[in-house]
Structure 1
């Protein structure tokens, strides 16, 4: 079973993304901030990470950088608000595979999970 790590400070978003992933046959692990996300990545080496950019404790860009340092092959998709264009570009430069803009369409996330899942 594929494992997804959902890193987002909003419980609602973690549950929404997690629900889509579970429906697509993924195991889901949740982290409430970037620091916790990095720790869980190091421990579990999930197949995919969805990463919010704006979070307390450690933001998504820093967490993405740390995860890519731990594993240069890490698959990370940024999920963020529409007004974060520069941050999304920074995330892509740091190695993010793709991005999804909030509010998002469930089908867009499911399609992304299927695409990444087929490639791993």
Structure 2
């Protein structure tokens, strides 16, 4: 069973994205900030990560900066709000593999996930 790490400080987003992945047959793991993601990543080695950019304690960008040097094949999709293009460019430079802009639906997310996993 493929695994996903859903990283978001908003309960609604964690639930919505987590449910999408559950429907697709993924084992879903949750983190509420970048620090939790950095700590959890080596324990579960997820097939894919969805990473919110703006979170307390540690941002998604800072989490990418810590995860990718140790796990260069990490497939991290940044979840962004409109107006965060500069941060997206920086996240991609640091090794995030793709991004999706809120609001999005399951079809849009599935296309990005399938592309990264070569499905």
TM-score (norm 2): 0.94
Measured at CA, do residues 98 and 75 of structure 1 come closer, stay the same or move farther in structure 2, by a change above 3 Å?
A: same
> What is the CA–CA distance in structure 2 between the aligned matches of 1:108 and 1:84, rounded to whole Å?
19
Pairing 1:33-48 to 2, within 5 Å after superposition: 33-48=33-48
Given the alignment of the two structures, is residue 94 of structure 1 paired with residue 101 of structure 2, yes or no?
A: no
> What is the CA–CA distance in structure 1 between the aligned matches of 2:68 and 2:77, rounded to whole Å?
12
> What is the CA–CA distance in structure 2 between the aligned matches of 1:93 and 1:101, rounded to whole Å?
18
CA shift for structure 1 position 114: 2.7
Question: For 2:69, what is the secondary structure of its paired residue?
Answer: helix
CA shift for structure 1 position 69: 1.9
Report what 2:6 is aligned to.
6
Question: For 1:16, what is the secondary structure of its paired residue?
Answer: helix
> What is the CA–CA distance in structure 2 between the aligned matches of 1:97 and 1:50, rounded to whole Å?
10
> What is the CA–CA distance in structure 2 between the aligned matches of 1:25 and 1:114, rounded to whole Å?
13
TM-score (norm 1): 0.93
Q: Which runs of 5+ in 2 are unaligned?
A: none
CA shift for structure 1 position 117: 3.5
Question: For 2:68, what is the secondary structure of its paired residue?
Answer: helix
Following TM superposition, the consecutive aligned residue runs of length 4 or more in structure 1 with deviations greater than 6 angstroms are: none
Q: Which runs of 5+ in 1 are unaligned?
A: none
CA shift for structure 1 position 115: 2.8
> What is the CA–CA distance in structure 1 between the aligned matches of 2:66 and 2:39, rounded to whole Å?
10
Aligned residues: 119
CA shift for structure 1 position 116: 3.0
Question: For 1:57, what is the secondary structure of its paired residue?
Answer: coil
Q: CA RMSD in A?
A: 1.2
